[in-house]
Structures are given as structure tokens and as C-alpha cells.
Chain A
Amino acid sequence: MIEVKNIKKNFGKHSVLKDVSVKVEDGQVVVILGPSGSGKTTLLRCINFLENADSGRLTIGNLEVDLKKSTKKEILNIRRRTAFVFQNYNLFANKTAIENVMEGLVTGRHVPKAQARERAEEALNWVGLSDKFNYYPAQLSGGQQQRVGIARAFVLDPEVILFDEPTSALDPELVGETLDIIKKVAEKGITMIVVTHEMSFAQDVADKVIFMDGGIVVEEGTPEVIFSNPKEERTKQFLSRIISLDPNYSI
């Protein structure tokens, strides 16, 4: 279980997160929606200490830390339990696909090299890149690079995988293949928090949808409720705007 309680974060005078609390059960897939600037990416980055929150508490499994006053050891412990998939993939340009997947295992988790290679091969096979082990990122398409990114997160066997707009940087025709892989991860029962703009993905995969705006959680619930019967006016507005832009979507 992951729980964020009363998290607050300001950038200068601008308050990005105003007292947000989110709870994710084991195996749940939570999708966070919201307009840009709503604080959803910041929330995700605070869970991983890529941003330092101004206050709040975080619980992952049996580990509870204060987001403001956390020790280096606690940060490392939290990071060991989480994995992050970046919008821009952030692969090592000078390492091959398999080396990229192995890196976190070998240097971050001290897994022996031979064993790390075996697990990395398995993960790459699983995301459908069995013929691309020794390719450098520059030789892969955006979708393939993001699949390496997903394999890298998945291979660590984390308690939760955090996805930060994993398909936003992709060409439209590559979004589908990447979402399919993320769906496969979800089907494995791994806890996931996904920040995305892909409405149909949210509807298909999410156990819970959280709608954020202006640094607060406006509304949360199952996708059925959020998409077909939202209570809050702001949610309705946002959905009507997004859905009119997304021709694939139909209620």
C-alpha cells in the first residue's frame, strides 16, 4: 500500500500542491488526470524525492517517512521500493538496451552481473524487444526506447512503478504499442501510479481515477463514475474539453 498524506509543495510563491492526500492499495492501478499545471507530475516527483515537498508524509508498505525531513537512507529506501518511467525515456545514450536495463540492477541493487543480464533479457523479451538487446538508444524508435524504459523499471521488481506521462513524447502511431506494454504490466498486478492524458487507457486499465486541478484532488473514483457520472463541475469541464479533442473516445 502507498499512501501520501497532506503533501504541500510551493515553487517560490506559487503553490503547486495544496494539501493533497492519495491512497493506493496493493495491485491497484491509479491514473491521475488533470490539466497541465494541476500538480500531478509534481506529486509523482515528490513520491520519488525528485522534488522535495514542503510537508507531508509518505508510506510505502511498512516504511513511513516524513517528506520534508527525510534522511538520505530513507530516500534511498523509498527509491529502492519504487521505479520511475520518464516522459523522455532518459536512457543512457552510450549504453545498449540491455545495459540500460541492467544498470539499475547492478549498480543500484548490487545484483551479480550474470544474474542481472538474465533478468534484463527476460524483461526485454517481455516488452517485445528480444531482437534489440545490443542496440543503442539512437538506433531505436521512441516507442522502443520507452519500452526499454519500462523494462528497466519492471526488472527491479518494485512495490510501485510511477509513470510520468509515458506516452507524451511519442509520435501518435507509437502511443498504442507503448500503452499495450503498460497494460501488460498492469495485468501482472503491479501497483502503478500513472500520470497521463490518454483517456481511453485510463478507462480500460485504471482501478481508480484521480482528477487534480489547481494543486488539489478535485474528485476521485472508479473510471465508470469519473467518466460517465462526474460530480464536480471542474471535472465535467475538463473531460468535455479533452474528449472533444480525442476522436477515438466514445462514452
Chain B
Amino acid sequence: MVVKRTGNIVKFGIPWIIPAFVLLLWYLSTRPGMNNTLMPSPDKVIQKTFEMIKNGQLWEYLSVSTVRAGKGLLLGGFIGLTLAFLTGFNRILDLTLDTSIQMLRTIPVLAAISIMIIWFGIGERVKVYMVAFGVFFPIYINTYHGIKSIDKGLMEMGAVYGLSRFRIFTDIILPGALPSILVGVRLSLGTMWLLLIASEQIATDAGIGYMAMSARELLQMDKIVLAIILYAILGKLSDAWATWLERKLIRWRER
């Protein structure tokens, strides 16, 4: 019993030692009297947070960014899934498209940002498109892989037991490819925030990227730090969402 309790303390305590230490260091190094132009003190950041919650800016920026990220994810995810299902099942389409897609994939997505701005301007669209572009690849590649690695034996079983094409799709192909698709979703969430932030810093009037950019120009260190913290929280939340989705959708893979 005692052993178990220490076990729990160790298990839940240890991961937080380093964050706590960093926080302490942060606090000590930015106390009044120290040079704090390069780093605002924690209480200043907290103060700023409450201020921005009060005047509604924080919520506005958060929701603007989240909506952009979500739109981009849906758009890129939809295209990725659809294309992967097409190339996964049709040999001709596979031969026509797959090489090109694999080639496009090797482009660092951020390199596309200049051309995207010229094409789509600096408005709302370019951010969504950037996110969609980045999210597309992990989803496409993992879905494609998932479809290609579906158990041939199960397909045969479906044929032998007289399942319709629809049932083969819903009962064999989809569950077979799902774990792989979810890996793609999870990877794409990381890319999603990265691209959103990069494109939000270019020219906008709302969003967390805008908040960070404008704060940089005015040297509002507290706001910059807050933006970084927000990214960390959003990243963690979307990862938790992906894990939840995985557990919810593939519960049969117990043990």
C-alpha cells in the first residue's frame, strides 16, 4: 500500500519537476531590480492574461485562430482522405497521382507561403489554405498506407461470406484503415498549428499569431510570452483530442 502510494507520487510528480523548476527560475530571475526587458515576470504575464480576458481580446484571438485551424484541417483532411481512397483502390489513379503527390510532399510546406500570398492575398483564405496544404500530406499518406495494408484474408472472407461492397467497405476497409488514418490525423495536428502561426504572423488583424506579431513590434514581452503559452496549451489540447478520438474509435484493440 505504502509502496503503491509512493509509486503514484513518483509517477505523477516527476514529470512536473522540470516545469516547476523552470517556473521558479523564471520567477527568481525576473524579480524587481533584475533586468526584465528580455523576459517579463510571471505575474506580469498573468496580469496581462486577466486584462485580455476582461476586454474580450483573448477570447476573440483564440476563437479566430481555432476556427482557421479547424477549417484548414477539415479542408485538407477531406481532400487527403478522398484522394487516398481513390488512389488506394484504383490502380490507374494510383499510378497517375501517387508519384506527383510524393514529390509535392518533399517541399517544405513553409516554402509555399510566398506563392500562396501572391495567389490568395493576405486575407482569411491564405491561412486556411496553408493549413489545409500542410495537413493534407500526413493524412493522405497514412490513409493510403492504411488502405494498402488491409488484410487480404479479410477481403477474401468478405467475398466468401457474401458481403456487399458497401459492407466490405464499412466492415473491413474502414476499420482496417482507421488506426492508420488516426495516426495521420495526429501528425497533422502538429503541422496544423505550426502553419497557422506562421501564416498568421504575416499580415492579419486577429488571431494568436497576430497577437504575437503586433506584440513583437511594440516590444510587449508579456503578450509574446502569453502567445507562446497559448500555443503550448492548444497543442496539448489537440493532442489530447486525438488520443480521445483514437480510444473512442478503435476500442476493439484492447490489450
Q: Is B153 a contact partner of A86 (Cβ separation < 8 A)?
A: yes
B178 to chain A, nearest CB (A): 8
Q: Does A84 contact B (CB under 8 A)?
A: yes
Given contacts A86-B153, A138-B252, contact A48 B160 (CB under 8 A): yes
Contact yes or no, B157 A94, CB < 8 A: no
Checking B156, B162, B252 against A94 with a beta-carbon cut-off of 8 angstroms, the contacting residue is: B252
How far is B163's CA from A50's CA once the two chains are assembled, in angstroms? 14
Query: Which residues of chain B are within 8 angstroms of A93 by Cβ–Cβ distance?
Result: 175-176, 252-253
Q: Please measure, in the bound complex, the distance between the C-alpha atom of A151 and the C-alpha atom of B236, giving whole angstroms.
A: 46
Known contacts A92-B172, A103-B171; is A84 also within 8 Å of B160 by CB?
A: yes
Contact A92 B154 (CB under 8 A): yes
Q: Please give the distance in Å from B172's CB to the nearest CB on chain A.
A: 7
A107 touching B164, Cβ below 8 Å: yes
Counting CB contacts under 8 A, is B159 at the interface?
Answer: yes
Known A-B contacts A80-B162, A95-B171; A90 and B253 likewise in contact (beta carbons under 8 Å) = no
A1 at the interface (CB under 8 A from B): no
Query: What 0/1 pattern do residues 72 to 94 of A give for CB contact below 8 A with B?
Result: 00001001101110101010111
Contact A139 B162, beta carbon cutoff 8 Å: no
The count of residues in chain A whose C-beta lies closer than 8 Å to any C-beta of chain B is 26
- Give the docked Cα–Cα distance between A20 and B167 (Å): 35
Say whether A138 contacts B171, CB under 8 Å.
no
Q: Which residues of B contact A94 (CB under 8 A)?
A: 171, 175, 250, 252
For the complex, give the distance between the alpha carbons of A92 and B175 in Å: 9
Contact-residue size bin, chain B (C-beta under 8 Å from the other chain): 20 to 34
In the complex, the number of residue pairs spanning A and B with C-beta atoms less than 8 Å apart equals 63
| Bound form: Cα–Cα A109–B151 in Å | 24
Fill in one digit per residue for B134-162: 1 if any A CB lies within 8 Å of its CB, else 0.
00000000000000000101101101111
Closest residue of chain B to A135 (Cβ to Cβ) is: B254
Compute how far the CA of A108 lies from the CA of B153 in the bound complex, rounded to whole angstroms.
17
Complex: A152 Cα to B162 Cα, angstroms: 13
For residue B10, give the distance in angstroms from its CB to the closest CB of chain A.
Answer: 31
A227: Cβ under 8 A from any B Cβ: no
Across-interface contacts of B11 in A (CB, < 8 A): none
Q: A109 to chain B: which residues have CB within 8 Å?
A: 162
B252 CB to closest chain A CB, in angstroms? Answer: 5
Assess whether B5 is interfacial by the CB under 8 Å rule: no
A136 contacts partner chain B, Cβ-Cβ < 8 Å:
yes
Say if the beta carbon of B255 comes within 8 Å of chain A.
yes
B164 — which chain A residues lie within 8 A by C-beta?
A: 107
A138 and B160 form a contact (CB under 8 A): no
Cα A108 to Cα B160 with chains together (Å): 9
What 1/0 mask marks residues of chain B from 236 to 255 whose CB sits below 8 Å from any chain A CB? 00000000000000101111
Does A136 lie within 8 Å of B254, measured CB to CB?
Answer: yes
Interface centre among A84, A107, A109, A138 (most CB of B within 10 A): A107
Interface residues of B in 210-255 (CB under 8 A from A): 250, 252-255
Instruction: Enumerate chain A residues within 8 angstroms of B254, measured Cβ to Cβ.
Output: 136, 138-139
Contact, CB under 8 Å: B253 / A138: yes
Chain B: minimal CB distance from A45 (Å): 9
A50 to chain B, nearest CB (A): 6
Q: Does B253 contact A76, Cβ atoms closer than 8 Å?
A: no
Interface residues of B (CB under 8 A from A): 151, 153-154, 156-157, 159-164, 167, 171-172, 175-176, 250, 252-255
Extra pairs beyond A79-B161, A94-B252, A107-B161 (15, CB < 8 Å): A76-B162, A79-B159, A80-B162, A84-B157, A86-B157, A90-B156, A90-B157, A93-B252, A94-B171, A94-B175, A95-B252, A107-B167, A108-B162, A139-B255, A156-B161
The 10 residue pairs across chains A and B that have the minimum distance between CB atoms: A108-B162, A104-B161, A90-B157, A94-B175, A90-B153, A94-B252, A136-B252, A84-B160, A108-B161, A107-B167
Would you mind naming 19 contact pairs between A and B with Cβ atoms under 8 Å apart?
A: A50-B160, A79-B160, A80-B162, A83-B160, A83-B161, A84-B157, A86-B153, A90-B154, A94-B171, A94-B252, A95-B171, A103-B171, A107-B162, A107-B164, A107-B167, A109-B162, A136-B252, A138-B253, A139-B255
